[in-house]
Structure 1
Amino acid sequence: MVAMTAREVATTFDLPDTSVVVAGDWHGNQDWIGLALPAVARAGVRTMLHLGDFGFWPGESNHLLKSVDYWASRKRGHPGVDRILVTPGNHEDWGDLDRVFAEAPGSVVRVSDRVWVLPRGFRFTIGNRSFLSFGGAASIDFAARAAGKTWWLSEIATVVEAEQAASSGDVDVLLTHDVGRVPGFRVRKTIARRAGDWSPTADVYATYSRYLVDSVVSGTNPRVHLHGHYHVRDSATEALRGTELVQVESLAMDGQPGNMVVLDLVIMSATDLDPWRRVPAL
Protein backbone atom coordinates (compact mmCIF):
# COMPACT_ATOMS: atom_id res chain seq x y z
CA MET A 1 0.00 0.00 0.00
CA VAL A 2 1.50 3.34 -1.07
CA ALA A 3 0.62 6.23 1.24
CA MET A 4 0.04 9.79 0.14
CA THR A 5 3.13 11.99 0.17
CA ALA A 6 3.50 15.69 0.85
CA ARG A 7 4.92 17.36 -2.25
CA GLU A 8 4.62 20.95 -1.06
CA VAL A 9 3.26 22.86 1.91
CA ALA A 10 1.98 26.41 2.35
CA THR A 11 0.91 28.39 5.40
CA THR A 12 -1.90 30.15 3.51
CA PHE A 13 -3.21 31.07 0.05
CA ASP A 14 -4.01 34.47 -1.43
CA LEU A 15 -5.52 33.79 -4.85
CA PRO A 16 -6.85 36.37 -7.35
CA ASP A 17 -9.85 34.37 -8.65
CA THR A 18 -13.21 36.15 -8.72
CA SER A 19 -15.17 32.89 -8.79
CA VAL A 20 -14.62 29.31 -7.66
CA VAL A 21 -16.48 26.03 -7.99
CA VAL A 22 -17.47 24.27 -4.76
CA ALA A 23 -18.30 20.54 -4.88
CA GLY A 24 -19.96 18.13 -2.47
CA ASP A 25 -19.15 14.46 -1.90
CA TRP A 26 -17.49 12.49 -4.72
CA HIS A 27 -16.70 9.19 -2.93
CA GLY A 28 -13.89 8.54 -5.40
CA ASN A 29 -16.41 8.05 -8.24
CA GLN A 30 -14.18 7.91 -11.32
CA ASP A 31 -17.03 8.32 -13.81
CA TRP A 32 -18.28 11.41 -12.02
CA ILE A 33 -14.80 12.91 -11.76
CA GLY A 34 -14.40 12.52 -15.52
CA LEU A 35 -17.64 14.44 -16.01
CA ALA A 36 -17.31 17.06 -13.28
CA LEU A 37 -13.78 18.38 -13.76
CA PRO A 38 -14.12 19.12 -17.49
CA ALA A 39 -17.34 20.97 -16.65
CA VAL A 40 -15.43 23.14 -14.17
CA ALA A 41 -12.83 23.89 -16.84
CA ARG A 42 -15.53 24.77 -19.39
CA ALA A 43 -16.98 27.22 -16.87
CA GLY A 44 -13.66 29.06 -16.95
CA VAL A 45 -12.91 28.43 -13.27
CA ARG A 46 -9.34 27.71 -12.22
CA THR A 47 -9.86 26.86 -8.54
CA MET A 48 -12.15 24.18 -7.12
CA LEU A 49 -13.01 23.77 -3.45
CA HIS A 50 -14.15 20.29 -2.41
CA LEU A 51 -16.18 19.69 0.75
CA GLY A 52 -15.02 16.18 1.57
CA ASP A 53 -15.71 12.49 1.11
CA PHE A 54 -13.39 13.14 -1.78
CA GLY A 55 -12.35 9.49 -1.97
CA PHE A 56 -9.12 9.24 0.02
CA TRP A 57 -9.21 5.61 1.09
CA PRO A 58 -6.60 3.01 2.10
CA GLY A 59 -4.86 1.66 -0.98
CA GLU A 60 -6.90 3.86 -3.34
CA SER A 61 -5.82 7.44 -2.69
CA ASN A 62 -2.96 7.59 -5.19
CA HIS A 63 -5.04 6.01 -7.95
CA LEU A 64 -7.72 8.63 -7.25
CA LEU A 65 -5.19 11.46 -7.33
CA LYS A 66 -3.80 10.34 -10.70
CA SER A 67 -7.31 10.32 -12.14
CA VAL A 68 -8.12 13.75 -10.73
CA ASP A 69 -4.88 15.22 -12.09
CA TYR A 70 -5.63 13.74 -15.51
CA TRP A 71 -9.15 15.18 -15.72
CA ALA A 72 -8.06 18.53 -14.28
CA SER A 73 -5.38 19.02 -16.93
CA ARG A 74 -5.77 21.00 -20.14
CA LYS A 75 -8.04 19.27 -22.65
CA ARG A 76 -9.63 20.18 -25.98
CA GLY A 77 -8.57 23.80 -25.81
CA HIS A 78 -9.72 24.37 -22.22
CA PRO A 79 -7.02 25.47 -19.79
CA GLY A 80 -7.99 22.96 -17.12
CA VAL A 81 -8.31 23.37 -13.35
CA ASP A 82 -5.19 24.68 -11.64
CA ARG A 83 -5.90 23.54 -8.09
CA ILE A 84 -8.39 21.53 -6.07
CA LEU A 85 -8.45 22.40 -2.37
CA VAL A 86 -10.02 19.60 -0.32
CA THR A 87 -11.71 20.06 3.04
CA PRO A 88 -11.70 16.39 4.16
CA GLY A 89 -14.91 14.55 5.02
CA ASN A 90 -15.54 11.61 7.33
CA HIS A 91 -15.23 8.75 4.84
CA GLU A 92 -11.54 9.40 4.20
CA ASP A 93 -8.33 7.64 5.25
CA TRP A 94 -7.75 9.81 8.32
CA GLY A 95 -4.77 7.71 9.29
CA ASP A 96 -3.03 8.87 6.12
CA LEU A 97 -4.34 12.44 6.43
CA ASP A 98 -3.20 12.74 10.05
CA ARG A 99 0.28 11.61 9.06
CA VAL A 100 0.49 14.11 6.18
CA PHE A 101 -0.79 16.99 8.33
CA ALA A 102 1.64 16.12 11.13
CA GLU A 103 4.58 16.71 8.78
CA ALA A 104 3.69 20.42 8.58
CA PRO A 105 1.23 21.33 11.38
CA GLY A 106 -1.28 24.01 10.41
CA SER A 107 -0.21 24.06 6.76
CA VAL A 108 -2.05 23.11 3.61
CA VAL A 109 -0.37 20.16 1.87
CA ARG A 110 -0.15 19.41 -1.85
CA VAL A 111 -0.52 15.66 -2.38
CA SER A 112 -0.57 15.55 -6.20
CA ASP A 113 0.02 17.86 -9.16
CA ARG A 114 -3.23 19.75 -8.47
CA VAL A 115 -4.76 18.49 -5.23
CA TRP A 116 -4.18 20.13 -1.84
CA VAL A 117 -5.63 18.94 1.49
CA LEU A 118 -6.65 21.51 4.10
CA PRO A 119 -6.24 20.99 7.86
CA ARG A 120 -8.99 22.01 10.28
CA GLY A 121 -8.96 25.72 10.99
CA PHE A 122 -7.01 26.63 7.84
CA ARG A 123 -7.68 30.21 6.71
CA PHE A 124 -6.92 31.64 3.28
CA THR A 125 -8.03 34.32 0.83
CA ILE A 126 -9.50 34.16 -2.67
CA GLY A 127 -10.61 37.28 -4.54
CA ASN A 128 -10.21 39.38 -1.38
CA ARG A 129 -12.70 37.13 0.43
CA SER A 130 -11.66 35.30 3.59
CA PHE A 131 -12.17 31.52 3.78
CA LEU A 132 -12.03 29.03 6.64
CA SER A 133 -11.86 25.25 6.17
CA PHE A 134 -13.09 23.01 8.98
CA GLY A 135 -13.31 19.41 7.82
CA GLY A 136 -14.61 16.12 9.14
CA ALA A 137 -17.89 14.71 10.40
CA ALA A 138 -19.28 11.72 12.28
CA SER A 139 -19.71 8.43 10.41
CA ILE A 140 -23.10 7.35 11.70
CA ASP A 141 -22.24 3.77 10.70
CA PHE A 142 -19.00 3.76 12.72
CA ALA A 143 -20.05 0.71 14.76
CA ALA A 144 -19.96 -1.40 11.59
CA ARG A 145 -16.45 -0.21 10.70
CA ALA A 146 -13.00 -1.30 11.90
CA ALA A 147 -11.12 1.25 13.99
CA GLY A 148 -7.84 2.24 12.35
CA LYS A 149 -8.75 0.48 9.11
CA THR A 150 -12.09 1.84 7.84
CA TRP A 151 -12.86 4.36 10.59
CA TRP A 152 -10.78 6.85 12.58
CA LEU A 153 -11.93 8.92 15.56
CA SER A 154 -10.03 11.90 14.15
CA GLU A 155 -12.78 12.14 11.51
CA ILE A 156 -14.50 14.57 13.90
CA ALA A 157 -12.96 17.67 15.41
CA THR A 158 -11.73 17.96 18.94
CA VAL A 159 -13.13 20.60 21.29
CA VAL A 160 -9.79 22.43 21.13
CA GLU A 161 -9.86 22.51 17.30
CA ALA A 162 -13.40 23.87 17.34
CA GLU A 163 -12.58 26.51 19.96
CA GLN A 164 -9.50 27.66 18.06
CA ALA A 165 -11.39 27.94 14.77
CA ALA A 166 -14.36 29.68 16.41
CA SER A 167 -12.11 32.29 18.01
CA SER A 168 -10.05 32.99 14.90
CA GLY A 169 -12.24 35.89 13.72
CA ASP A 170 -15.09 36.49 11.30
CA VAL A 171 -14.92 34.97 7.83
CA ASP A 172 -16.69 35.51 4.52
CA VAL A 173 -16.92 31.84 3.49
CA LEU A 174 -16.96 28.79 5.75
CA LEU A 175 -16.24 25.38 4.20
CA THR A 176 -17.23 22.28 6.18
CA HIS A 177 -18.21 18.70 5.50
CA ASP A 178 -20.80 18.48 8.26
CA VAL A 179 -23.51 21.04 8.89
CA GLY A 180 -23.81 23.10 12.05
CA ARG A 181 -27.17 24.76 12.52
CA VAL A 182 -29.69 23.21 10.16
CA PRO A 183 -31.96 25.80 8.52
CA GLY A 184 -32.65 23.80 5.33
CA PHE A 185 -35.81 21.67 5.23
CA ARG A 186 -34.29 18.89 3.14
CA VAL A 187 -31.26 18.55 5.43
CA ARG A 188 -33.48 18.51 8.53
CA LYS A 189 -35.60 15.79 6.94
CA THR A 190 -32.50 13.73 6.10
CA ILE A 191 -31.16 14.00 9.66
CA ALA A 192 -34.50 12.98 11.13
CA ARG A 193 -34.69 9.94 8.84
CA ARG A 194 -31.15 8.85 9.66
CA ALA A 195 -31.81 9.13 13.39
CA GLY A 196 -34.48 6.45 13.06
CA ASP A 197 -32.18 4.08 11.21
CA TRP A 198 -29.26 3.96 13.65
CA SER A 199 -28.58 3.38 17.34
CA PRO A 200 -28.98 6.11 20.00
CA THR A 201 -25.18 6.09 20.39
CA ALA A 202 -24.70 6.78 16.69
CA ASP A 203 -27.27 9.56 16.84
CA VAL A 204 -25.47 11.20 19.80
CA TYR A 205 -22.15 10.91 17.94
CA ALA A 206 -23.59 12.64 14.86
CA THR A 207 -25.28 15.32 16.97
CA TYR A 208 -22.02 16.05 18.79
CA SER A 209 -20.23 16.51 15.46
CA ARG A 210 -22.88 19.02 14.33
CA TYR A 211 -22.59 20.82 17.66
CA LEU A 212 -18.85 21.34 17.16
CA VAL A 213 -19.36 22.68 13.63
CA ASP A 214 -22.16 24.95 14.86
CA SER A 215 -19.78 26.47 17.41
CA VAL A 216 -17.49 27.41 14.52
CA VAL A 217 -20.41 28.88 12.56
CA SER A 218 -21.48 30.97 15.55
CA GLY A 219 -17.95 32.12 16.28
CA THR A 220 -16.91 33.10 12.77
CA ASN A 221 -20.18 34.65 11.50
CA PRO A 222 -19.76 33.61 7.83
CA ARG A 223 -21.69 35.29 5.04
CA VAL A 224 -21.83 31.96 3.17
CA HIS A 225 -21.51 28.48 4.67
CA LEU A 226 -21.17 25.52 2.29
CA HIS A 227 -21.27 21.86 3.35
CA GLY A 228 -21.86 18.35 2.01
CA HIS A 229 -22.29 15.07 3.94
CA TYR A 230 -26.09 14.76 3.69
CA HIS A 231 -26.21 14.20 -0.07
CA VAL A 232 -29.02 16.69 -0.72
CA ARG A 233 -29.10 20.06 -2.45
CA ASP A 234 -30.59 22.62 -0.12
CA SER A 235 -30.36 26.37 0.36
CA ALA A 236 -31.52 28.49 3.29
CA THR A 237 -30.80 31.71 5.15
CA GLU A 238 -30.60 32.14 8.92
CA ALA A 239 -29.85 34.99 11.29
CA LEU A 240 -26.63 34.70 13.29
CA ARG A 241 -25.97 37.90 15.21
CA GLY A 242 -28.89 40.26 15.31
CA THR A 243 -29.75 41.14 11.72
CA GLU A 244 -26.65 39.51 10.22
CA LEU A 245 -27.47 36.52 8.00
CA VAL A 246 -25.66 33.38 6.89
CA GLN A 247 -26.51 31.77 3.56
CA VAL A 248 -26.22 27.99 3.98
CA GLU A 249 -25.67 25.98 0.80
CA SER A 250 -25.95 22.19 1.14
CA LEU A 251 -24.54 20.21 -1.77
CA ALA A 252 -25.58 16.86 -3.21
CA MET A 253 -23.32 13.87 -3.91
CA ASP A 254 -21.67 12.50 -7.05
CA GLY A 255 -24.13 11.58 -9.78
CA GLN A 256 -26.82 13.94 -8.50
CA PRO A 257 -27.90 17.40 -9.67
CA GLY A 258 -26.70 20.04 -7.24
CA ASN A 259 -23.30 18.48 -6.54
CA MET A 260 -21.44 21.62 -7.69
CA VAL A 261 -22.00 25.35 -7.52
CA VAL A 262 -20.16 28.34 -8.92
CA LEU A 263 -19.53 30.79 -6.09
CA ASP A 264 -19.26 34.36 -7.40
CA LEU A 265 -16.94 36.12 -4.98
CA VAL A 266 -17.91 39.60 -6.14
CA ILE A 267 -21.62 39.40 -5.34
CA MET A 268 -21.35 36.33 -3.06
CA SER A 269 -23.92 34.20 -4.86
CA ALA A 270 -24.00 30.44 -5.55
CA THR A 271 -25.29 29.10 -8.88
CA ASP A 272 -25.63 25.39 -9.63
CA LEU A 273 -23.18 24.01 -12.20
CA ASP A 274 -24.72 21.28 -14.34
CA PRO A 275 -21.96 18.94 -15.61
CA TRP A 276 -24.35 17.37 -18.13
CA ARG A 277 -24.83 20.66 -19.96
CA ARG A 278 -22.46 20.89 -22.90
CA VAL A 279 -21.18 24.31 -23.89
CA PRO A 280 -20.78 24.62 -27.70
CA ALA A 281 -17.24 25.17 -28.87
CA LEU A 282 -16.52 28.66 -30.16
Structure 2
Amino acid sequence: MTKILIAGDWHGNTVWMEKALRTAAKTGISTLVHVGDLAVLWPAVNGDRFTKILKRRLNEHGITMIFVDGNHDVHPKLRALALNAGGFGVISDRLLYAPRGHRWELDGVRFGALGGAFSIDRRFRKLGSTWWEGEEVVPEDVERLGNGELDVLITHEVPAGIDVISELDLPEALERDSYASRLLVRDAVRNTKPALVFSGHWHQRRTGMMPGMETRVHVLHKEFFNGNLVTLDLKTLAVEEFAA
Protein backbone atom coordinates (compact mmCIF):
# COMPACT_ATOMS: atom_id res chain seq x y z
CA MET A 1 0.00 0.00 0.00
CA THR A 2 1.23 3.49 -0.85
CA LYS A 3 -1.75 5.76 -0.26
CA ILE A 4 -4.55 5.46 2.26
CA LEU A 5 -7.71 7.50 2.64
CA ILE A 6 -8.47 9.64 5.70
CA ALA A 7 -12.13 10.58 6.23
CA GLY A 8 -13.96 13.15 8.34
CA ASP A 9 -17.37 12.73 10.03
CA TRP A 10 -20.01 10.65 8.21
CA HIS A 11 -22.78 10.62 10.86
CA GLY A 12 -24.19 7.30 9.68
CA ASN A 13 -24.98 8.59 6.19
CA THR A 14 -25.25 5.56 3.91
CA VAL A 15 -25.35 7.51 0.62
CA TRP A 16 -22.09 9.32 1.29
CA MET A 17 -20.41 6.22 2.73
CA GLU A 18 -21.20 4.18 -0.38
CA LYS A 19 -20.00 6.94 -2.69
CA ALA A 20 -16.73 7.41 -0.79
CA LEU A 21 -15.94 3.69 -0.69
CA ARG A 22 -16.83 3.18 -4.34
CA THR A 23 -14.54 6.02 -5.43
CA ALA A 24 -11.73 4.85 -3.14
CA ALA A 25 -11.90 1.33 -4.58
CA LYS A 26 -11.75 2.67 -8.16
CA THR A 27 -8.46 4.41 -7.33
CA GLY A 28 -6.95 1.30 -5.76
CA ILE A 29 -7.18 2.39 -2.11
CA SER A 30 -7.53 -0.54 0.28
CA THR A 31 -7.24 1.18 3.70
CA LEU A 32 -9.36 3.97 5.15
CA VAL A 33 -8.87 5.71 8.50
CA HIS A 34 -11.84 7.59 9.94
CA VAL A 35 -11.67 10.40 12.53
CA GLY A 36 -14.95 9.61 14.33
CA ASP A 37 -18.67 10.38 14.30
CA LEU A 38 -18.96 7.35 12.04
CA ALA A 39 -22.10 6.30 13.97
CA VAL A 40 -21.81 2.53 13.69
CA LEU A 41 -23.80 0.29 16.08
CA TRP A 42 -26.39 3.06 16.41
CA PRO A 43 -29.67 1.94 18.04
CA ALA A 44 -32.60 1.98 15.64
CA VAL A 45 -36.14 0.61 15.68
CA ASN A 46 -35.62 -1.20 12.38
CA GLY A 47 -32.07 -2.34 13.10
CA ASP A 48 -28.68 -0.81 12.45
CA ARG A 49 -28.89 -0.52 8.67
CA PHE A 50 -25.81 1.70 8.31
CA THR A 51 -23.41 -0.75 9.97
CA LYS A 52 -24.79 -3.70 8.00
CA ILE A 53 -24.36 -1.92 4.68
CA LEU A 54 -20.93 -0.56 5.65
CA LYS A 55 -19.64 -4.06 6.44
CA ARG A 56 -21.04 -5.37 3.16
CA ARG A 57 -19.47 -2.57 1.09
CA LEU A 58 -16.07 -2.92 2.77
CA ASN A 59 -16.07 -6.61 1.84
CA GLU A 60 -17.21 -5.92 -1.72
CA HIS A 61 -14.52 -3.30 -2.30
CA GLY A 62 -11.74 -5.05 -0.37
CA ILE A 63 -11.24 -2.05 1.93
CA THR A 64 -10.21 -2.19 5.59
CA MET A 65 -11.52 0.66 7.74
CA ILE A 66 -9.99 1.79 11.03
CA PHE A 67 -11.89 4.41 13.03
CA VAL A 68 -11.67 6.30 16.30
CA ASP A 69 -14.73 7.35 18.29
CA GLY A 70 -16.25 10.79 17.97
CA ASN A 71 -18.69 12.39 20.36
CA HIS A 72 -21.65 11.15 18.29
CA ASP A 73 -20.81 7.47 18.65
CA VAL A 74 -22.18 4.74 20.90
CA HIS A 75 -19.35 4.63 23.44
CA PRO A 76 -20.62 1.75 25.64
CA LYS A 77 -20.88 -0.57 22.62
CA LEU A 78 -17.51 0.43 21.20
CA ARG A 79 -15.75 -0.11 24.53
CA ALA A 80 -17.38 -3.53 24.92
CA LEU A 81 -15.98 -4.82 21.61
CA ALA A 82 -13.62 -7.78 21.78
CA LEU A 83 -10.07 -6.84 20.84
CA ASN A 84 -8.08 -8.68 18.19
CA ALA A 85 -4.37 -9.50 18.39
CA GLY A 86 -3.57 -6.03 17.04
CA GLY A 87 -5.50 -4.30 19.84
CA PHE A 88 -8.42 -3.16 17.67
CA GLY A 89 -12.06 -3.57 18.63
CA VAL A 90 -13.61 -5.86 16.04
CA ILE A 91 -16.96 -5.21 14.37
CA SER A 92 -15.91 -7.27 11.35
CA ASP A 93 -12.63 -8.38 9.80
CA ARG A 94 -12.58 -5.14 7.81
CA LEU A 95 -14.21 -2.74 10.29
CA LEU A 96 -11.93 -2.02 13.25
CA TYR A 97 -12.23 0.40 16.16
CA ALA A 98 -9.02 2.02 17.45
CA PRO A 99 -9.53 2.60 21.22
CA ARG A 100 -8.24 5.79 22.81
CA GLY A 101 -4.51 5.50 23.34
CA HIS A 102 -4.08 2.67 20.84
CA ARG A 103 -1.02 2.64 18.57
CA TRP A 104 -0.40 0.75 15.34
CA GLU A 105 1.73 0.87 12.20
CA LEU A 106 0.90 0.91 8.50
CA ASP A 107 3.93 0.29 6.27
CA GLY A 108 6.19 1.53 9.04
CA VAL A 109 4.20 4.74 9.68
CA ARG A 110 3.40 5.10 13.40
CA PHE A 111 -0.26 5.93 14.10
CA GLY A 112 -1.98 6.78 17.36
CA ALA A 113 -5.67 7.10 18.28
CA LEU A 114 -7.29 9.64 20.57
CA GLY A 115 -11.02 9.73 19.92
CA GLY A 116 -13.67 11.64 21.82
CA ALA A 117 -15.00 15.18 22.12
CA PHE A 118 -17.64 17.18 23.97
CA SER A 119 -21.02 17.41 22.20
CA ILE A 120 -21.69 21.10 21.74
CA ASP A 121 -25.24 20.14 20.63
CA ARG A 122 -25.85 18.01 23.73
CA ARG A 123 -28.84 20.10 24.82
CA PHE A 124 -30.68 18.93 21.68
CA ARG A 125 -29.96 15.23 22.31
CA LYS A 126 -31.16 12.53 24.70
CA LEU A 127 -28.84 10.61 27.00
CA GLY A 128 -28.79 6.92 26.11
CA SER A 129 -30.37 7.28 22.67
CA THR A 130 -28.61 10.09 20.79
CA TRP A 131 -25.62 10.76 23.03
CA TRP A 132 -23.77 8.65 25.59
CA GLU A 133 -21.60 9.24 28.62
CA GLY A 134 -17.90 8.76 28.06
CA GLU A 135 -17.77 10.95 24.97
CA GLU A 136 -15.25 13.50 26.32
CA VAL A 137 -11.48 13.16 26.26
CA VAL A 138 -10.12 12.57 29.77
CA PRO A 139 -6.55 12.73 31.16
CA GLU A 140 -6.38 8.92 31.36
CA ASP A 141 -6.79 8.77 27.56
CA VAL A 142 -3.77 11.02 27.09
CA GLU A 143 -1.74 8.97 29.58
CA ARG A 144 -2.68 5.75 27.77
CA LEU A 145 -1.39 7.17 24.48
CA GLY A 146 1.94 7.86 26.17
CA ASN A 147 4.96 9.93 25.21
CA GLY A 148 6.50 7.86 22.43
CA GLU A 149 6.77 9.79 19.18
CA LEU A 150 4.22 9.22 16.43
CA ASP A 151 4.09 10.05 12.75
CA VAL A 152 0.29 10.47 12.59
CA LEU A 153 -2.22 11.11 15.37
CA ILE A 154 -5.90 10.49 14.63
CA THR A 155 -8.23 12.50 16.86
CA HIS A 156 -11.85 13.56 16.71
CA GLU A 157 -11.45 16.82 18.59
CA VAL A 158 -9.19 19.54 17.20
CA PRO A 159 -6.25 20.38 19.46
CA ALA A 160 -6.18 23.78 21.14
CA GLY A 161 -3.97 26.11 19.13
CA ILE A 162 -5.83 25.53 15.86
CA ASP A 163 -8.62 28.00 15.12
CA VAL A 164 -12.09 26.59 14.43
CA ILE A 165 -15.49 28.26 14.20
CA SER A 166 -18.61 26.72 15.78
CA GLU A 167 -21.78 26.22 13.73
CA LEU A 168 -23.72 26.98 16.92
CA ASP A 169 -23.87 30.02 19.17
CA LEU A 170 -22.38 28.40 22.26
CA PRO A 171 -23.22 29.40 25.82
CA GLU A 172 -20.06 30.20 27.78
CA ALA A 173 -20.36 27.06 29.94
CA LEU A 174 -20.48 24.79 26.88
CA GLU A 175 -17.57 26.64 25.34
CA ARG A 176 -15.49 25.96 28.45
CA ASP A 177 -16.47 22.28 28.54
CA SER A 178 -15.61 21.85 24.88
CA TYR A 179 -12.27 23.59 25.25
CA ALA A 180 -11.27 21.26 28.09
CA SER A 181 -11.14 18.37 25.60
CA ARG A 182 -9.21 20.50 23.13
CA LEU A 183 -6.56 21.23 25.74
CA LEU A 184 -6.12 17.52 26.46
CA VAL A 185 -5.72 16.75 22.76
CA ARG A 186 -3.13 19.54 22.59
CA ASP A 187 -1.26 17.85 25.44
CA ALA A 188 -1.28 14.57 23.53
CA VAL A 189 0.12 16.29 20.44
CA ARG A 190 2.90 17.88 22.50
CA ASN A 191 3.70 14.51 24.09
CA THR A 192 3.88 12.49 20.86
CA LYS A 193 5.19 15.14 18.39
CA PRO A 194 3.50 13.74 15.27
CA ALA A 195 4.20 15.18 11.85
CA LEU A 196 0.46 15.12 11.13
CA VAL A 197 -2.80 15.25 13.08
CA PHE A 198 -6.16 14.48 11.45
CA SER A 199 -9.32 15.68 13.23
CA GLY A 200 -13.00 16.32 12.51
CA HIS A 201 -15.88 17.35 14.78
CA TRP A 202 -16.19 21.03 13.77
CA HIS A 203 -17.58 20.43 10.27
CA GLN A 204 -15.10 22.56 8.37
CA ARG A 205 -11.92 22.05 6.36
CA ARG A 206 -8.90 23.78 7.86
CA THR A 207 -5.18 23.24 8.13
CA GLY A 208 -2.70 24.83 10.50
CA MET A 209 0.58 24.37 12.29
CA MET A 210 0.61 23.72 16.01
CA PRO A 211 2.16 26.72 17.76
CA GLY A 212 5.86 26.13 18.45
CA MET A 213 5.82 22.71 16.76
CA GLU A 214 6.48 21.12 13.37
CA THR A 215 3.07 19.42 13.46
CA ARG A 216 0.48 20.14 10.80
CA VAL A 217 -3.18 19.63 11.75
CA HIS A 218 -5.77 18.77 9.11
CA VAL A 219 -9.37 19.40 10.19
CA LEU A 220 -11.71 17.50 7.86
CA HIS A 221 -15.22 18.51 6.82
CA LYS A 222 -18.35 16.40 7.23
CA GLU A 223 -20.12 14.19 4.70
CA PHE A 224 -21.13 15.67 1.30
CA PHE A 225 -18.65 18.54 1.58
CA ASN A 226 -15.36 19.03 -0.21
CA GLY A 227 -12.63 18.41 2.31
CA ASN A 228 -14.24 15.35 3.91
CA LEU A 229 -11.67 13.07 2.29
CA VAL A 230 -7.91 13.29 1.81
CA THR A 231 -5.25 10.82 0.78
CA LEU A 232 -2.11 10.21 2.82
CA ASP A 233 1.02 8.91 1.09
CA LEU A 234 2.67 6.54 3.55
CA LYS A 235 6.09 6.97 1.96
CA THR A 236 6.24 10.77 2.00
CA LEU A 237 3.39 11.73 4.39
CA ALA A 238 2.07 14.01 1.65
CA VAL A 239 -1.63 14.90 1.99
CA GLU A 240 -3.88 15.57 -1.00
CA GLU A 241 -7.57 16.41 -1.33
CA PHE A 242 -9.74 13.55 -2.58
CA ALA A 243 -13.05 14.01 -4.40
CA ALA A 244 -15.68 11.29 -3.94
TM-score for both structures, normalised by structure 1:
0.79
Verify: 1:91 aligned to 2:72, yes or no.
Answer: yes
1:154 aligned counterpart, secondary structure: coil
Tell me the equivalent position of 2:20.
Answer: 36
Pick the aligned partner of 1:72 from 55, 58, 78. Answer: 58
Pick the aligned partner of 1:268 from 230, 237, 242. Answer: 237
In the alignment, the residues of structure 2 paired with residue 129 and residue 98 of structure 1 have an alpha-carbon distance, to the nearest angstrom, of: 25
Verify: 1:174 aligned to 2:148, yes or no.
Answer: no
* C-alpha distance after superposition, 1:153-179 (max 9, x if no partner): 3111221221232x3311000000001
Contact conserved, 2:116 with 2:155, CA < 8 A, in 1? yes
Alignment RMSD (CA, Å): 2.1
Query: Percent same amino acid at aligned positions?
Result: 30
In the TM superposition, what are the counterparts of 1:227-242 in structure 2 within 5 Å?
Answer: 227-241=199-213
- Read off the aligned partner of 1:169 and give its amino acid letter: G
In the alignment, the residues of structure 2 paired with residue 42 and residue 240 of structure 1 have an alpha-carbon distance, to the nearest angstrom, of: 40
- Answer with 107-116 or 117-126: which moved more: 107-116
Alpha-carbon offset, residue 21 of structure 1: 0.3
> Relative to 1, partners in 2 of residues 1:239 and 1:208: Cα closer, same or farther, differing over 3 Å?
closer
1:162 aligned counterpart, secondary structure: helix
Tell me the equivalent position of 2:100.
Answer: 120
In the TM superposition, what are the counterparts of 1:134-213 in structure 2 within 5 Å?
Answer: 134-165=114-145, 167-183=146-162, 187-188=163-164, 190-191=165-166, 194=168, 197-213=169-185
2:113 aligned counterpart, secondary structure: strand
Contact conserved, 1:48 with 1:84, CA < 8 A, in 2? yes
Verify: 1:49 aligned to 2:30, yes or no.
Answer: no
Alpha-carbon offset, residue 209 of structure 1: 1.0
**In the comparison of the two structures, how many residue pairs are matched?**
242
In the alignment, the residues of structure 1 paired with residue 102 and residue 89 of structure 2 have an alpha-carbon distance, to the nearest angstrom, of: 11
Find the structure with the greater CA-based Rg: 1
* C-alpha distance after superposition, 1:145-202 (max 9, x if no partner): 333332223111221221232x33110000000011343xxx53x14x64xx122221
- Read off the aligned partner of 2:144 and give its amino acid letter: Q
In the alignment, the residues of structure 2 paired with residue 198 and residue 39 of structure 1 have an alpha-carbon distance, to the nearest angstrom, of: 36
In the alignment, the residues of structure 1 paired with residue 78 and residue 58 of structure 2 have an alpha-carbon distance, to the nearest angstrom, of: 22
Alpha-carbon offset, residue 235 of structure 1: 1.7
Contact conserved, 1:172 with 1:222, CA < 8 A, in 2? yes
In the alignment, the residues of structure 1 paired with residue 56 and residue 80 of structure 2 have an alpha-carbon distance, to the nearest angstrom, of: 25
Contact conserved, 1:262 with 1:270, CA < 8 A, in 2? yes
> Relative to 1, partners in 2 of residues 1:174 and 1:84: Cα closer, same or farther, differing over 3 Å?
same
